[in-house]
Structures are given as C-alpha cells and as structure tokens.
C-alpha cells in the first residue's frame, strides 16, 4: 500500500515547511518514517496533521521536547503541560490587548512625540 504513503516532499508541501525541517522532525522522532521506497522516506497521510500540530505548538511557545511529550504521552501527563501553556497564553493575550489599546490611543492622540504625550504620565492611561 505504498501508493497512499507520502514522500517527504509531499509532506513539506502540504504543511508549508522545507524538506529539511520535515527531515529534522523525523530525525528527532516527532514523526516517523513508515517505510522507504528506493531509499526515500515514505510517511502515513496522518503525518500531515501531526506536523501541523508541531508547527502550531511551536508558534505558541512549546519546545520540540514539550511537543513530543504532548504527542506521545499516553499516561495523561501532557494535560498539566497544556494547562500551564494555556495560562501563559491567556496572560500573553491580556498583555497584547493592553498594548493594542495603548497603540490605538497613541495613534489617535494627536501628539507629535509619543514620549511627550501627557496621557502616559499616569500609570493607567485613558
């Protein structure tokens, strides 16, 4: 059934990564080569979803080691790791919301120099 298996290039194209990145994920065990055909790696189609998870998890701040734990832990310990990251992401989002509000305020205040704006003399600008 190697007709349904995907080459490393097909995986890379489907997830928007370089072949070398996919090869690295294979080398460190985040994904697994199903077989080799004429010496070339072949992967199960579900590898695409796994690599997409790896990419999104990295964007969220997980290390590759943490991602491996999340993907491969069958005992449920991954839940604590995910819970901690969720808390961190919520806190980061809150800080970003404050910054977005501040930048919108600065953009509309009319001051020529942001550092001289009297709105920022107070600890909590309106």
- The predicted-structure confidence for 28-49, as pLDDT tens digits, reads as follows 999 999 999 898 999 999 999 9
Residue 68 lies in a domain: no
Q: Are residues 29 and 86 in the same domain?
A: no
Confidence (pLDDT) at 121: 64
pLDDT at 86 over 50: yes
Asked if 45 and 4 count as a contact pair (C-beta separation under 8 A), the reply is: yes
Q: Please give the C-alpha separations between residue 70 and each of 3, 16, 58, 97, in angstroms, as whole numbers.
A: 30, 22, 12, 28
Confidence (pLDDT) at 107: 83
Domain that holds residue 92: 73-126
Q: Are residues 90 and 110 in the same domain?
A: yes
Q: Are residues 25 and 77 in the same domain?
A: no
Q: Are residues 3 and 58 in the same domain?
A: yes
pLDDT at 2 over 90: no
Among residues 92, 52, 48, 54, which one has the least CA distance to residue 71? 54
Structural domain ending residue among the three candidates 39, 62, 85? 62
Residue 67 lies in a domain: no
| Full-model pTM | 0.74
Residue 122 lies in a domain: yes
Confidence (pLDDT) at 82: 93
Q: Please give the C-alpha separations between residue 76 and each of 51, 56, 81, 86, in angstroms, as whole numbers.
A: 21, 20, 10, 16
Strands 40-43, 6-7: pairing kind: antiparallel
Dihedral angle, C-alpha 19, 38, 48, 73, nearest 10 °: -100
Percent of the chain with pLDDT over 70: 91
Average model confidence (pLDDT) across the chain: 89
**Cα–chain center distance at 49:** 13
């Amino acid at each position: 059934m190697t007709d349904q298996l995907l080459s490393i290039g097909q995986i890379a194209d489907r997830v928007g990564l370089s072949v070398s990145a996919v090869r690295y994920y294979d080398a460190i065990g985040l994904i697994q080569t199903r077989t080799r055909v004429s010496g070339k790696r072949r992967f199960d189609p579900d590898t695409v979803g796994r690599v997409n998870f790896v990419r999104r998890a990295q964007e969220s701040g997980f290390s590759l080691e943490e991602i491996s734990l999340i993907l491969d832990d069958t005992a449920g310990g991954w839940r604590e790791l995910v819970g901690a990251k969720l808390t961190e992401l919520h806190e980061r989002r809150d800080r970003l919301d404050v910054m977005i509000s501040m930048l919108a305020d600065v953009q509309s205040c009319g001051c020529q120099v942001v550092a001289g704006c009297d709105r920022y003399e107070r600890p909590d600008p309106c």
